[in-house]
Amino acid sequence: MKKIFIFLGFIVSFSTQAEVEITIVKNSKNAISIAVLPFANNALESTKISKVIADDLSLSGQFSPLEKQQLIEQPKAANEIKYSTWRLLSAQYLTIGSIKTVGEGRYEVSLKLFSVTDQKQMMSLVLPVREGEFRSAGHYLADKIYEEITGIQGIFSTKIAYVTATQITGGVEYQLLVADADGKNSQALVTSQQPLLSPKWSPRGDKIAYVSFERGNSAIYIQNLATGKRELMSHFKGINSGPSFSPDGTKLALTLSKSGNTEIYLMDIMTKQLTQVTKNWAIDTGANWAPDGKSLIFTSDRGGKPNLYQVLLSDLTTKRLTFEGDYNAGGSYSSDGKYICYVQGNKNNYKIALRHNKSETSQLISNGPLDETPTFAPNDNMVLYATKNKKGQGILISTSLDGTTKNQLIISNGHIREPSWSPVIN
């Protein structure tokens, strides 16, 4: 049994925007059944925090929380649990929580996790929470429940960055936003009448690099989330695109055409000094780092069609990674280096593919036909990507690596695209 005390810290907020609506499209048939009981002692907030936990666990696809009407008993302590009741309801796990006021705007949130099968307490947590932090507390508690049961790091306290495009009078308004992993609590970092593209998180989750066209042609910026300030990194003549932070956060990989041809470069973030990585007649673009920082993957048409290549930074030798299909592009590594997710196209049908790097084989994990810009969850258990629904609206889909779980993220008044999942933010 564990007992954990922690204080929650949070990212600075900007202007709040319309939230993303999430629909569960398909969940795993082997989902773990859990009863998340309402928290005692504070009717208003207890309902919210238990719902946040249940929704988070459900969105993972690995859990199936009992419905509200199934919570027929409300034990407040371990000795009040009737395990036979929960076995009849097929619950494998049970949580009991409470909220206690400890001062002006200060609370103490407690949660206990029980195994119905083993009839024992597995975990106990006590959390100091300030007014307005109950949603974040719910995400943290969901992370700890997920970790205790699965042995895998939870990602409900992480963030997603994405771009929205909304039709307004006289044109289109673009926004770069950051939201909780469940799509709630969205905040606008940048608003522009010109396109915004390719948001990418720094390894510490404190900065986002992105592309903006507000200067006429493309330019790359880094936005500091704590201060709200941004820094212009690249505005050369021609293409400035595809920023990607190195694993140690000291460099950017980026695509530039300042030499007349589109090539991959590295930029030292402090000095802005450039190092050219590729030098080929073909179009080389969209570089992303391997987790060990020793190589990059990028997209190139040097073989006649777009495919993924790997370049070793030690000697700049390249290796082709993909061969199937008419189009392979937009590759990103999982944090453990086991997989690469990318877009594979065949006869104008574009789907998300998953490359198993050890076996050098690939599988399709989405349905198409217009899927793009995949990004791994920080625990590598899910992939988030952009697509369009039957109405032609830009939406996001999160899927498990085997495709058995899918969730749909939609905004009501525009298109959502270019997703990027943050690292775990401590």
Phi, psi of 87 (to 5 degrees): -65, -40
Mean pLDDT over each residue of the chain, to the nearest integer: 91
Strand segments (E) across 93-183: 93-103, 106-115, 120-130, 159-168, 171-180
pLDDT band, residue 378 (cuts 50/70/90): very high
What is the reported pLDDT for 108?
A: 94
Cβ pair 355, 309 in contact under 8 A: no
What is the reported pLDDT for 250?
A: 98
What is the reported pLDDT for 23?
A: 67
The per-residue b/e assignment along 205-231, b for 16 or more CB within 10 angstroms, e otherwise, is bbbbbbbbbeeeebbbbbbebeeeebe
| 1 inside domain | no
- 369 preceded by a cis bond (ω within 30 of 0): yes
pLDDT band, residue 16 (cuts 50/70/90): very low
Cβ pair 324, 279 in contact under 8 A: no
* Tokens encoding 81: 């649990």
What is the reported pLDDT for 269?
A: 98
Shared-domain flag, residues 390 and 319:
yes
| 368 inside domain | yes
Shared-domain flag, residues 204 and 259:
yes
| 4 inside domain | no
Shared-domain flag, residues 146 and 201:
no
What is the reported pLDDT for 201?
A: 98
* Tokens encoding 204: 């510490």
Residue 258 vs residues 218, 237, 242: alpha-carbon distances, Å: 12, 6, 14
Of 221, 222, 218, give the one whose Cα is nearest residue 257: 218
Shared-domain flag, residues 336 and 370:
yes
Shared-domain flag, residues 56 and 175:
no
Q: Is 320 left (phi over 0), alpha (psi -120 to 50) or beta?
A: beta
Shared-domain flag, residues 135 and 279:
no
Amino acid letter, 15: S
Shared-domain flag, residues 280 and 318:
yes
* Tokens encoding 288: 């992303």
Q: Which of 150, 184, 206 is the last residue of a domain?
A: 150
Report the chain's terminal Cα–Cα distance, integer Å: 23
| 320 inside domain | yes
Phi, psi of 303 (to 5 degrees): -95, 5
What is the reported pLDDT for 154?
A: 95
Shared-domain flag, residues 210 and 327:
yes
pLDDT at 119 over 60: yes
Q: Residue written as tokens 């404190």?
A: 206
Shared-domain flag, residues 137 and 166:
no
pLDDT tens-digit series, residues 20-54: 666 666 666 789 999 999 998 765 666 689 999 99
Distance in angstroms (rounded) separating the CA atoms of residues 359 and 70: 45
| 6 inside domain | no
| 3 inside domain | no
Q: Which of 115, 150, 185 is the last residue of a domain?
A: 150
Q: Which domain holds residue 417?
A: 159-421
For the ranges 228-232, 346-350, 355-359, 404-408, which has the lowest average pLDDT?
404-408
| 21 inside domain | no
Cβ pair 379, 60 in contact under 8 A: no
* Tokens encoding 98: 């409470």
Q: Which of 150, 170, 185 is the last residue of a domain?
A: 150
What is the reported pLDDT for 24?
A: 60
Residue 326's CATH number: 2.120.10.30
Shared-domain flag, residues 116 and 171:
no
pLDDT tens-digit series, residues 278-336: 999 999 999 999 999 999 999 999 999 999 999 999 999 999 999 999 999 999 999 99
